[in-house]
C-alpha cells in the first residue's frame, strides 16, 4: 500500500515504481512476488542449502537445466514439455523472457493486440520496443459464449498477447476444460496470428495436487499455431526472489527466439535452479496445499477486514495470489480513468504480517 496514490500525490510512471516505494514500508502488499514463509517441506530445502551448493558444482549445467525443466513442467501437468526439455529457454525472470519476445516482435515490425486489464510491466516492455498496441478486453476472451466469433468481430492485430490466468483479475480460459483455449488457438491458426501466452500465474489453477489446465503445449503443437509462451516460478514459491522465467516457442520461430535468448544470457545459476527444483518437489509432496491454503486464508482475512468499507473483493475465476478489489489506472493502460477505482492486493505473504496489513487498510478506510 503506497501513500503515493493519494489525491494530489505525484503520479509515478509505472506500477513497479510504486512497488519500489512499498518495499520501504511495513505493510507491503503491493508486488505479487511470493513473500510468505516456507512450509515444513520447503524448510527442508533451506536446511539442505550446503548440500545443494555442492551438488550444483558437481553436476553439469545441462543436467541441472533438464532436471528443473522436467520437474517444473511435470508439476504443471505439461507432459509435452517434460518430454522435450530442449525446447525450454531459461532466464532469471519472466520479464527477461518477455523482453526477448518483444524484441522478436519488434524485429518483425508486428502489431500487437494485448489483453486488458493486465499488469503494466508487460505493456511497458512492448512500448519500450516501439510496438503498436491495441487493447483486447478480457471479457472478449474469457466471457464470450462464442470466443472465436467474438475475436473475429473485435479484430486482432498480427499478434495476440494473452495472460492466463490474468493478472490481476484471475480470469482464465480454462474454467471449463480446454475448449475455450482451443478456440482461441484455432482462431489464430485460421487467421495467421501469432499467439503469445503468459502463464506466470498458471500454478494457481491447481486443485489440490491436480494441475488445473490441460497439456497446453500438446494443444499448441498439434494445432500448428505460431506461438511463444512464458512460464514463471516467482509468483508461486517463497525463494527470496530466486526465480526462473521459462520461454518456449513453436518450431517455425524457435531458432530465431533461441538466438535472441543467447544474445541476452548464457545460463541461469545452477544453484538457483537446484533450489527451485527442491521447492517444486516440496509442493508436489504437499499437494500444493501450503501455497493454496495460505492464499485462501489471507483472502478470507482481507474479506473480513473490508466488511463495512467501500472496497469489496471481486471473486476471481482462478484463486491467484492477488486480490482484485479495484485497479490502479496503470492496469488499464489504454484508458487510465477506467482503473481509478480499483486496487490490487498481493496475498502471498506471511499470514500474521498480512493480517496486520489488512487491519491497517481497514483502519485507513474507516477514517471519517
Distances (CA, A) of 269 to 112, 144, 266: 33, 43, 10
Distances (CA, A) of 311 to 64, 95, 342: 46, 30, 9
- The rounded distance, in Å, linking the Cα atoms of 127 and 132 is 8
Mean pLDDT within 90-107: 97
What does the block give as the cell for 175? 474454467
- The rounded distance, in Å, linking the Cα atoms of 244 and 88 is 11
- pLDDT category, 363, cuts 50, 70, 90? confident
Mean pLDDT within 13-30: 59
The beta-strand segments (E) located in 61-175 are 89-91, 111-116, 132-137, 159-163
Q: Look at the block and give the residue holding cell 544470457.
A: 265
Residues constituting the chain: 368
At residue 17, the pLDDT reads 65
CB distance 348 to 321 below 8 Å: yes
With a cut of 70, say whether residue 6 has pLDDT above it: no
Mean pLDDT within 12-25: 59
At residue 366, the pLDDT reads 74
Burial 135-156 (b: 16+ CB within 10 A, else e): bbebebbbebeebbebbeeeeb
Digit-coded pLDDT (tens) for 134-143: 999 999 999 9
Q: List, in sequence order, every residue forming a beta bridge with 207; answer none if it has no partner.
A: 210
With a cut of 50, say whether residue 3 has pLDDT above it: no
Distance linking the first and last C-alpha atoms of the chain: 19
Domain boundaries, the chain: 3-38+288-366, 59-284
With a cut of 60, say whether residue 246 has pLDDT above it: yes
Mean pLDDT within 292-300: 82
Digit-coded pLDDT (tens) for 170-198: 889 998 889 999 999 999 999 999 999 99
Exposure on the CB side of residue 245, measured as CA atoms within 13 A: 20
At residue 44, the pLDDT reads 96
At residue 336, the pLDDT reads 57
With a cut of 50, say whether residue 228 has pLDDT above it: yes
Share of the chain above pLDDT 70, in %: 82
CB distance 278 to 45 below 8 Å: yes
Q: What is the mean pLDDT of the chain?
A: 86
Angle at 61 between CA 206 and CA 283, to 5 degrees: 20
Digit-coded pLDDT (tens) for 251-268: 999 999 999 999 999 999
Q: Look at the block and give the residue holding cell 491497517.
A: 360
Residues 6+ apart with CB under 8 A from 280: 71, 72, 75, 233, 237
CATH number for the region 59-284 comes to: 3.40.640.10
Q: What is the C-alpha radius of gyration for the chain, rounded to an integer number of angstroms?
A: 20
Residues 6+ apart with CB under 8 A from 132: 111, 112, 157
At residue 280, the pLDDT reads 95
Q: Which CATH architecture does the domain made up of 3-38+288-366 adopt?
A: Alpha-Beta Complex (3.90)
- The rounded distance, in Å, linking the Cα atoms of 162 and 220 is 14
Helix (H) or strand (E) holding 275: helix 270-285
Angle between helices 270-285 and 289-306 (to 10 degrees): 80
Exposure on the CB side of residue 179, measured as CA atoms within 13 A: 8
CB distance 320 to 344 below 8 Å: no
- pLDDT category, 151, cuts 50, 70, 90? very high
Amino acid at each position: 500500500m503506497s501513500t503515493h496514490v493519494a489525491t494530489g500525490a505525484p503520479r509515478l510512471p509505472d506500477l513497479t515504481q510504486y512497488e519500489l516505494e512499498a518495499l520501504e514500508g511495513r505493510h507491503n502488499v503491493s508486488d505479487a512476488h511470493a513473500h510468505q514463509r516456507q512450509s515444513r517441506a520447503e524448510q527442508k530445502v533451506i536446511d539442505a542449502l550446503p548440500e545443494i551448493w555442492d551438488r550444483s558444482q558437481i553436476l553439469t549445467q545441462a543436467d541441472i537445466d533438464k532436471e528443473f525443466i522436467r520437474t517444473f513442467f511435470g508439476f504443471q501437468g505439461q507432459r509435452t514439455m517434460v518430454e522435450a526439455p530442449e525446447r525450454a529457454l531459461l532466464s532469471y525472470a519472466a520479464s527477461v523472457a518477455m523482453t526477448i519476445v518483444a524484441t522478436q516482435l519488434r524485429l518483425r515490425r508486428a502489431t500487437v493486440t494485448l489483453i486488458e486489464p493486465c499488469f503494466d510491466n508487460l505493456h511497458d516492455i512492448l512500448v519500450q520496443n516501439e510496438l503498436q498496441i491495441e487493447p483486447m478486453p478480457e471479457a472478449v476472451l474469457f466471457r464470450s459464449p462464442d470466443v472465436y466469433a467474438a475475436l473475429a468481430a473485435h479484430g486482432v492485430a498480427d499478434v495476440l498477447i494473452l495472460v492466463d490466468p490474468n493478472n490481476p483479475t484471475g480470469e482464465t480460459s480454462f474454467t471449463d476444460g480446454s475448449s475455450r483455449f482451443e478456440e482461441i488457438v484455432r482462431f489464430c491458426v485460421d487467421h495467421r496470428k501469432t499467439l503469445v501466452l503468459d502463464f506466470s500465474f498458471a500454478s494457481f489453477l491447481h486443485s489440490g495436487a491436480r494441475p488445473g489446465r490441460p497439456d497446453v503445449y500438446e494443444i499448441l503443437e498439434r494445432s500448428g499455431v505460431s506461438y511463444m509462451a512464458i512460464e514463471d516460478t516467482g509468483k508461486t514459491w517463497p525463494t527470496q526472489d530466486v526465480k526462473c522465467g521459462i520461454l518456449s516457442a513453436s518450431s517455425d520461430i524457435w531458432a530465431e527466439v533461441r538466438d535472441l535468448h543467447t544474445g541476452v544470457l548464457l545460463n541461469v545459476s545452477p544453484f538457483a535452479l537446484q533450489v527451485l527444483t527442491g521447492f517444486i518437489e516440496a509442493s508436489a509432496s504437499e499437494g500444493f496445499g501450503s501455497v493454496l491454503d495460505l492464499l485462501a486464508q489471507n483472502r478470507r482475512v482481507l474479506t473480513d477486514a473490508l466488511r463495512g468499507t467501500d472496497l469489496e473483493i471481486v471473486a476471481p475465476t482462478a484463486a491467484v495470489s492477488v486480490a482484485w478489489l479495484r485497479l490502479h489506472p496503470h492496469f488499464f493502460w489504454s484508458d487510465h480513468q477506467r482503473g481509478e477505482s480499483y486496487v490490487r492486493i498481493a496475498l502471498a505473504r506471511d499470514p500474521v504480517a498480512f493480517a496486520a496489513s489488512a487491519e491497517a487498510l481497514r483502519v485507513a478506510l474507516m477514517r471519517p
